[in-house]
């Protein structure tokens, strides 16, 4: 028990793990996707700065920070459903800060009830760390599929 507590505190203090966690869920009754991406805030700020030359201050919820965040996500997280590029329709609903992490929440309208093929390219934070890993959970019709993306394997396909 003590070792688990120590490891948890160590990860929170130092976060030597280079990781993002994304949840993509389709709500048939609302005909939309909700995408939530969790970043380590300081890593995200560095990645956006490397990309744009602008360092966002996420303590402020303003148009510039929202635009920087959404553009970064749209550039490095591409979701295609049956050939349709959802990424182009991403709308940032909000972001929230929780200690050292930032949660971005995105909504996308999608009117087709059946999904056959999902193509995902996830290169979030790959411009920062060679050991970056991105975990993604895709939820469709109450079935979850977990995927792991690495620099050498940034693209995956799900079929239904």
> In this predicted structure, what is the pLDDT of residue 50?
97
- Judge whether 1 lies within some domain: no
- Judge whether 5 lies within some domain: no
Q: Reply yes or no on whether the pLDDT at 2 is more than 70.
A: no
> In this predicted structure, what is the pLDDT of residue 17?
86
Looking up tokens 């309208």 gives: 109
CB 137 within 8 A of CB 144: yes
Tell me the per-residue pLDDT of 131-142, one tens digit each, with 9 for 90 and over. Answer: 999 999 999 998
Residues 125, 19: Cα–Cα separation, whole Å: 8
> In this predicted structure, what is the pLDDT of residue 14?
55
Tell me the per-residue pLDDT of 79-131, one tens digit each, with 9 for 90 and over. Answer: 999 999 999 999 999 999 999 999 999 999 998 879 999 999 999 999 999 99
Helix 41-52 × helix 63-76 angle, to 10°: 80
3-state helix, strand, coil in the chain (%, to 5): 25, 45, 30
- Judge whether 136 lies within some domain: yes
Residue 12 pLDDT class (50, 70, 90 cuts): very low
- Judge whether 61 lies within some domain: yes
- Judge whether 10 lies within some domain: no
- Please state the domain count of the chain: 1
Tell me the per-residue pLDDT of 48-81, one tens digit each, with 9 for 90 and over. Answer: 999 999 999 999 889 999 999 999 999 999 999 9
Domain with 96 in it: 17-159
Whole-Å CA distances, 125 to 29, 82, 136, 149: 33, 26, 14, 11
- Judge whether 9 lies within some domain: no
- Judge whether 4 lies within some domain: no
Lowest mean pLDDT among 6-10, 14-18, 130-134: 6-10
- Judge whether 80 lies within some domain: yes
């Amino acid at each position: 028990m003590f070792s688990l507590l120590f490891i948890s505190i160590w990860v929170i203090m130092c976060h030597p793990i280079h990781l993002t966690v994304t949840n993509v869920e389709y709500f048939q009754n609302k005909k939309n996707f909700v995408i939530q991406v969790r970043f380590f805030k300081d890593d995200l700020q560095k990645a956006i700065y490397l990309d744009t030359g602008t360092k966002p201050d996420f303590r402020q919820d303003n148009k510039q920070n929202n635009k920087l965040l959404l553009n970064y996500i749209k550039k490095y997280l591409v979701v295609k459903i049956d050939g349709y590029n959802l990424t182009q329709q991403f709308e940032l609903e909000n972001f929230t800060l929780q200690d050292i992490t930032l949660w971005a929440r995105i909504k996308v309208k999608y009117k087709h009830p059946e999904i056959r093929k999902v193509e995902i390219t996830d290169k979030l934070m790959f411009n920062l760390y060679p050991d970056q890993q991105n975990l993604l959970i895709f939820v469709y019709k109450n079935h979850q599929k977990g995927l792991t993306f690495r620099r050498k394997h940034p693209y995956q396909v799900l079929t239904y």
